[in-house]
Amino acid sequence: RSIRRCAEKCKNGMFLALGTVFLLGSAFCFQAREIQVAQAKERENAMLKKVAITFDDGPNPDYTEQLLDGLKERGVEATFFLLGKEAEKYPDIVERMSREGHLIATHSYEHVNLCNLSDEEAIEQVDKTNDVLYRITGLYPEYIRPPFGCWKCNLDYETQMIEVLWDIDPLDWKTGNASVVAKRVINQVEENDIILLHDASESSVEAAFEIIDSLKEEGYIFV
Ligand code: ZN
């Protein structure tokens, strides 16, 4: 009887070992397939034309969510250069941006020309904004677009931020006509350009959607 019990145990042990090998093998195959799919997608993306769409001065309580809805519908990720003062007032909108995969970056705390400030005051504008954004998203921004594009080079070191400007500025903030704004961008755009818009008016949001739909048709992807 004891020999039979021993044989049973051996058999059970063998099944257990085979089962484990099978499970590990399947997990490995699944992972290998996932890597292959990701690599194929990467190769495909590397061949597509890239463009970045960016929005300054938000979050805006009237227009940003409308913009986020349209970006989500189109599967497009954008970059938002935010004002600390506004982010403090509308943290839910910032949290949604972050949750939906958009890149959150810094504009300044209260839209001032940083070149007109002392270094200490400029650093305070950046740090105060970064702290607000960190409290909402759990991440410190790495990029800054200084208001009016004005930035002193030593601030790179002082703030540890990377300055990002733009390639195409359609002056959407002083043009109420979405189609005019969209056309200015579509006519100028080239591969790897950074497009500057503001999520601060109905026409800018509409222009963003026109730009995205048209550039997608031309084979661009948004990064
Ligand atoms: Zn601005």
Using one digit for the tens of pLDDT, what is the confidence trace for 162-200? 999 999 999 999 999 999 999 999 999 999 999 999 999
| Neighbour tally for 53: CB within 10 Å | 23
Catalytic residue selected from 111, 198, 199, 213: 198
Per-residue CA distances from 207 to 27, 45, 148, 203 (Å): 46, 25, 21, 6
pLDDT of residue 113: 97
Q: In angstroms, rounded to a whole number, what is the distance separating the alpha carbons of residues 89 and 112?
A: 18
Closest residue by Cα to residue 146 from 112, 176, 170, 119: 112
Catalytic residue selected from 56, 172, 193, 199: 56
Instruction: State the distance from the centre of ligand 1 to the C-alpha of 146, rounded, in angstroms.
Output: 8
pLDDT of residue 12: 67
pLDDT in tens, 61-119: 999 999 999 999 999 999 999 999 999 999 999 999 999 999 999 999 999 999 999 99
Residue 102 designated active-site: no
Instruction: State the distance from the centre of ligand 1 to the C-alpha of 112, rounded, in angstroms.
Output: 9
Which residue type is seen at 72?
K
Q: Which two tokens stand for residue 187?
A: 């006519």
Q: In angstroms, rounded to a whole number, what is the distance separating the alpha carbons of residues 190 and 175?
A: 22
CB burial of 110-148 (b: ≥16 within 10 Å; e: otherwise) equals eebebeeeeeeebbebbbbbbebbeebbeeebeebbbbe
